[in-house]
Each structure stands twice: as structure tokens, then as C-alpha cells.
Structure 1
Amino acid sequence: MDRKYKLTYFNIRGLAEPIRWMFKMRNVDFEDERINLAQWPEERNRFSKHVGQLPILLIDDKIELSQVHTVMRYVARELGFNGETEYEEMRADEATELIYDLRLCAVAHKDCYTTDNPDIVRHTIFRDFKAEKNISKKVIMRKRLLVDHFPLYFAKFAQFLEDSGGEYLAGPNITYADLAVANFLDVCESHVNPDILNDFPTLKALKEEIFDIPEIAEWVAQTNTANATGA
């Protein structure tokens, strides 16, 4: 039976973009409801029963799932992106949790950026950092990310690739972790430093492979066009 899906998230890539990619790659129709960041203080009351958190996945107009990793793993299981062995599932989970760790590392430097949405900053942290106009405020966070955090975590991702044979993070099959890591790396290149993958050629190759997937390339092009026209 075909299921009906509605994904509600902010009007950004953020944490939920890999979920959108999985739907597109499997040609699964879904309603992509986007909440403008400026409207969130008013809109959040709609989601009070989910402790005011996004994303929310509505399934068949009946079941609502909250929490990004819960939603991501559910969609991965339903659409075949969760790995084919227990080992692949574990590795995919681990890689995705490491990404969240990195976001929290950035959020911890709260004096290095300004945000209009403090209650959702973990979703918007790199966007807020890029938009920060005070250059001196950025110094500490950029240094910690580029010197301490990124090399440590990126080396871990590179080791996953080596252990799995070099194509995907969890094994011979693409998983939601590959999508999540590729999305994260691209965000960091765009918002922190375009050279962050110079010392990690295998991660750069993985990111490029993911973004070359036709469905993802088309989705990214459409999203960029919509953002450029204010849609």
C-alpha cells in the first residue's frame, strides 16, 4: 500500500534535507511544508504537543513522528536506505550521530555569532555563523572548527570509508548516512570554509558522488532557483 507523507520543517536545508533526498531518490511523493524562520515564534504553537520541535513527519494523515533522527531512520527503513546488514545499520547510525555532535560543537560557541532564532539555533548554526557581520566574533568558532573539530570528525568519516572498501560510509550500499554526511559537508564548505575537504579526498569524492545523483542534482537545482526568486 502506498503511504501518504507530509514533512514539515523550516525553509532551510538544515537537518531534514537528507529526508527530502530519500523521498526524491525513490520517486515517492510527499508534501514538503516549509516554515519560514521569521514566522517560527508564531508557528511553533502549532507543534506544542511535539515540544515545539521540527521536523514532523505525518504518515497517512494519522501518525505523527517527531525528532529528526527518528524521522530519518523511519524513512530510511521504509525506502531502503538503512543498510542491508546489522553492521551497516550501526555504522549509518554512528555517522549520523557524529554529524549532530559537530553541530552541537558549533552551537557551544554562542558568543561567536548572532541568531534571531535562539530556540532553533542547532538547525541554523552555520547559516547564522555565515551571516554574522562582526568578523572578530567569528575568529574563535572558526578556529575551533577548522583546527580541532573538523579534522577529528572528518578523519573518523574517512576511516569509515576505508573500512567499508572506499565507496560508502557503512558498507557497499548507500545509506542515509551518506546523504546526511554529504549534506553536512556541503553546508560547511558553503558557510565555514570552502577548503575544508582538501585533506580528505575520499570525503570530497563521496560528497561529489552524492550530489551527482540525478534526483538530488535536480532537487538542489530547483531549490536554488526557488530561493533565488524568493519562492
Structure 2
Amino acid sequence: MEEKTNNVSLSHITDPDIALQALKDGNKRFISGDTLNQDVDFALKKKLSESGQAPYAVVLSCADSRLLPKRAFDQTIGDLFLLQIAGNIVSPEEIGSMEFAVEFFNSCLIVIMGHQGCGAITAAVKSSPDDQAFSTIHLDTIMNRLKAVVEDSADQRSALSEEDYIDYCVDHNVRRGLEELTNQSEFLRERMKSGKLKMVGAKYILDTGEVVFDDFHTLPAD
């Protein structure tokens, strides 16, 4: 049964295709300015504190301060299980968090979302072996992952402008993240095979606020 507040609803979505469409519809509202969920009323906060959470989608995105998934998808509190890290890389910690959401909250959709002009990807593209830029053990862990993405995309470098090449690497990083997630989590693979979970890739366009979902980012369940 669907409960309504001043926001859209408190219904829990369990169908991956419906979940994906909800994000697409929310992004259309965000772009048009006809949003429903940018303000959260006290009744919804109170309800969620009493009943617990049931986010229907997990979104892994970059930690860029200009990227706010809840707003970009016009969703309210309790709808999205959010993970943000520079370069939206897939690490064991992110995988474990996704598995937790899927198992205990029955989240039915996982989205890995890159974004236009990603600073972490840009830094990886512009780095060189003798680069003396700022470096720490922890930062290098992220940058080494992203440099591997850039190396995988090297055959496209001469054919594209630097801006387009960075954009290409952003896409490739999302695809690689989906592949890593699928290969490394037997639990998530089994959920996909059962039809209870879908994993897709997306890219947020900073200039317009649009989230682009590409068919080639969608992984099959088998």
C-alpha cells in the first residue's frame, strides 16, 4: 500500500525496470524545474525514523560537489542508498555496501554514475610518469585505478580532442566499474540472474543536469 506525504510517496519499488523509470522520470522533472522532492516534510522524516529505510536504488557516483544524485533524480530521503567517492571507482568497500543494501533493504537497482568533466579522470588523463604533482598513499590508490582506465582507452586518444577523450574515459570508467562489480560479487550476480536486480551505468551532464543512461552500459543477467 502506498502512503503519501507532501512528497511523492513512501511506496517501496521492487521491480528493477520500474525503479529505473522512476529515476528517469525524476531527472526529467529536475531538468524542467517541476520537481516534487526538493523539500522534505517533517511527517516523512518522522515516518522513516520509526519504520526504517527501504531505498529502492543504490547509486555510486563521484564525490564532486556539483553532483547531488538525490536532487538530480528528484528523489526524497529514504529512496536512494548513496555512495560517493572520487572517480566513482568500485572498491571492496563499495561492493560490500551495495550487497548490504540489496540484502537488507531489497534494493533492486544499482547505478554507477560518472559525470561530464570529472576532475579525477582529467587528472589521470593529464598525468605523466614523471609527474611531480601532489601525491599521497591514499590518493594514489584512487589515481592508479583511474590511470588504468586511461591506459585501457589509449587507442582513442589520437582520434579525439582532449575534452572528448576525457569524456570517453568517463564512459569507460563506468563500464569497467560495472564489469568489476559483476565479476567480484557472486551475490549480486545471482540477484541479477533471478531478475530481482538490475545494474546500469549513467553519466551526469553538468551543463544541463541531464542523466544519460546508455544501453551499452546495461549488463545482462546471464
Pairwise same-fold verdict (TM > 0.5): no
Higher helix proportion, which one? 1
- TM-score of the pair, normalised by structure 2: 0.33
